Each structure stands twice: as structure tokens, then as C-alpha cells.
Amino acid sequence: MVSIYDVDPTELIKKAAEKLKENENIKPPVWADFVKTGRHKERPPVEKDWWYTRAAAVLRSVYKLGPIGVSKLRSKYGGVERRGMQPEHFFKGSGSIIRKVLQQLEKAGYIQKVEKGVKKGRVITPKGKSLLDKTAVIVAGKQLSPTKLERKKKEKKVEEIEEDADEEKPMVKKEEKPKKKRGRPKKGKDAPAVDEPTGETKNLAAGKKEPAAEELVEETEDNAPEEQNG
């Protein structure tokens, strides 16, 4: 099941603030329009419905960190003040705002006090937990829109097709080329037998032309011995 840890906190707080507006017990006080949320802030909040946003953020913090009190929440929503040439200094958030928000959430039934045991403070009730869990489901449905789901399915199909294609491809072995023997030819008994070149091949190698048949006949007639007369 989807919980508050599985979704974007900003979207969860925005959606939960819209639901808190429907509750009559949660309303901004008169001074909420011109008050600062802490000493470290220079101006009041610009957002008109910032009270509901802070209430939703406090409810989520109680869900995660409860039991928790005003002091720790003041540290959580505090900040650093710039003091010109002097070093920066951390100041806690407004305690009055957080105290009022906790009282209203407690009156609406979303949180309750715990005074037994070592830890004292506020914890979330089943009603408040149900509110945030249902809101988380709605936010998760928006984040995983149908278009994104379709894209993921298409990507998976493409990956499967590529894997099948790789499996079907036959393994082709490369033809091994005969290796050339390096080194000088062997001499002696182990040397391979080579046919001796004929006279024609010797003449061709020396660049000499073979005599024509007619020239051979003439040479034989000239060189023949003359017949001696009786």
C-alpha cells in the first residue's frame, strides 16, 4: 500500500491542505495576514492560504516524528537570519503559530496528547493517519499517470524484443586465414624440392628472346659442312 514515504512531500502537503480547508475546526486567526512565521523571516508569507499549508506540514511531521512537542517543531521550522556584516545566526520558528496549529488539529481529531512514559507530546490518531494515507494514494495516482505507465510498458516490450532478437541470431564463425610462415627458406636436406628451370625459363628470366623457327633453319643451313667435290 502507498504511504506518505512513497510520494513527493510537497505534493502531499498541498493536497492535504485542500482537505483541511473543509474542516471547520481549522481556521487561520485574525493576525495570520500580517504576522511573520519566525524571527529569521523578513516579511509575512505571500501565500493567502499559508495557514492550511503549515497545518498540513505539521500534521505530516507529527505522523513521522511523534510524539513531538512545540519546542522541536519550532526548531524544525526555524531558519538562519542574515545580519549584514555579522555572522549568520539560527533562530527558531514562531511558537505561537505552531501551538495554535496543534490545538486546532487536536480539536479536529487528527492528533492527540501523550503524557504517559518518558516521551511526551503529540501523536497522530487513526483519523489523521487515514487522511494522510488516502491523500498519498491520490498523489501517487497523479504521479503515475496512464501516459507514463504506457511508456514503461512500451519500453519493457522493446527490451524483450531486443533480447529475443539477440538470442535468435546464429553464431557465425569467422574463417581462419592461413598464417604466413615467416623466416628464410630452409637449405640442405630439409629444403623442399624445386624443379630446375629449363633453358627457356632461364632465357626469359635473363630477358633474352627465343629465336624464331625460320632463323633456326637458316643457321643450320649456314653451319652445315660443304660437300667436297669428287
Q: Convert the pLDDT of each residue in 166-218 to its tens digit.
A: 665 555 555 666 666 666 655 555 555 555 555 555 455 555 555 555 555 55
Q: What is the mean pLDDT of residues 78-100?
A: 87
Mean pLDDT of 56-64: 92
Residue 37 · residue 31 · CB < 8 Å: no
Question: pLDDT digit string (tens) for 120-170?
Answer: 889 999 999 999 999 988 888 776 555 555 666 667 666 766 666 666 555
Mean pLDDT of the region 41-45: 85
With a CB cutoff of 8 Å and minimum separation 6, the contacts of 121 are: 66, 67, 68, 69, 72, 113, 114
Q: Establish whether the linkage from the previous residue to 44 is cis, with ω within 30° of 0.
A: no
Segments making up each domain of the chain, as ranges: 4-140
The pLDDT assigned to 39 comes to 83
Q: What is the pTM of this model?
A: 0.59
For position 229, what pLDDT does the model report? Answer: 47
CATH of domain 4-140: 1.10.10.10
Q: What is the pLDDT of residue 160?
A: 67
pLDDT at 6: 84
Q: Treating both helix axes as pointing N-terminal to C-terminal, what angle do 126-143 and 9-20 enclose, rounded to 10 degrees?
A: 120
User: Hunting for cell 624464331 — which residue is that?
Assistant: 212
pLDDT of residue 95: 86
- Contact between residue 11 and residue 51 where contact means Cβ atoms under 8 Å apart: no
Higher pLDDT, 164 or 40: 40
pLDDT, position 230: 42
As a whole number of angstroms, the distance between CA 94 and CA 139 comes to 30
